[in-house]
């Protein structure tokens, strides 16, 4: 466990949505290893969430499962309520849950799919965040980190346009919340580039992944643990004067 550090989250409580796999799982482990009690949310990845909690406990950390479909408003709100009822507070919210669902060009996109992608990536975060705000305000260390995607900058090539548009909305929501919730709560976002997770196993071919690597100045694909360390930084007191920021984690593939 982390001690005597600006990244020390001892006695704090964190909620990580979509924490059964990939970046969310790595974030849950990083926050828990830093001392936080972690609410590990999942919708369908029960086995992954169980493995994450078991690994966290092996590291000396603590947490709990929170199963819910966050596109359903009451289920999303119940996740926050259940965590606070168990842990007594909420200090950190990581809105990580999201997915392209499937790849489709906007010109071919049925309106039902468009709405579903926004439900999965924007509305779910809205429901959870709205319910979490009073607890985060009361925390004294309130922090929200929203997980975006490099597709916001690239435009969502290969049929990721609806996903990019939804994550773009989440980016604007980040800035709005940073203004509305200051000074009690800091709100930031990270924008991962190509990270080796189940996401790319599903939506990218090995050939495409090699192209991504060649386009990246650091000449490799990122790891979920590297994103998790950036989230840990934004969550803790080391980032106490940072709000409304967007942190690129892409190996130089996109330079501002």
User: Cα-Cα-Cα-Cα dihedral of 170, 176, 180, 183, to 10°?
Assistant: 90
Residue 6: which residues within 8 A CB-CB, separation 6 or more? 236, 237, 238
Q: Is 163 a catalytic residue?
A: yes
Which among 254, 240, 194 has a CA at the least distance from the CA of 23? 194
Which among 40, 22, 20, 44 has a CA at the least distance from the CA of 32? 40
Which among 35, 88, 80, 85 has a CA at the least distance from the CA of 62? 35
Among 42, 127, 163, 212, the one annotated catalytic: 163
Q: For residue 200, give Cα distances in angstroms to 40, 80, 205, 209.
A: 22, 29, 8, 8
Q: Which residues are catalytic?
A: 163
């Amino acid at each position: 466990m982390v001690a005597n550090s600006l990244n020390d989250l001892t006695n704090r409580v964190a909620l990580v949505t979509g924490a059964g796999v990939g970046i969310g799982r790595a974030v849950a482990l990083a926050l828990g290893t830093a001392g936080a009690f972690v609410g590990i949310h999942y919708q369908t990845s029960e086995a992954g969430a169980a493995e994450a909690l078991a690994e966290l406990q092996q590291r000396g950390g603590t947490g709990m499962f929170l199963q819910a479909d966050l596109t359903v408003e009451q289920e999303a709100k119940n996740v926050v309520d259940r965590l606070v009822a168990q842990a007594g507070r909420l200090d950190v919210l990581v809105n990580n849950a999201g997915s392209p669902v499937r790849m489709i060009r906007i010109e071919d996109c049925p309106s039902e799919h468009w709405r579903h992608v926004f439900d999965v990536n924007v509305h779910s975060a809205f429901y959870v965040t709205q319910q979490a705000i009073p607890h985060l305000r009361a925390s004294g260390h309130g922090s929200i980190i929203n997980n975006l995607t490099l597709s916001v900058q690239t435009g969502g090539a290969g049929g990721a346009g609806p996903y990019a548009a939804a994550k773009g909305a989440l980016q604007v929501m980040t800035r709005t919340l940073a203004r509305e919730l200051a000074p009690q709560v800091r709100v930031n976002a990270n924008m991962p580039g190509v990270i080796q997770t189940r996401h790319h196993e599903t939506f990218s071919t090995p050939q495409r992944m090699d192209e991504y690597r060649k386009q990246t100045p650091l000449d490799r694909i990122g790891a979920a643990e590297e994103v998790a360390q950036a989230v840990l930084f934004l969550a803790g007191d080391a980032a106490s004067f940072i709000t409304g920021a967007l942190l690129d984690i892409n190996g130089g593939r996109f330079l501002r």
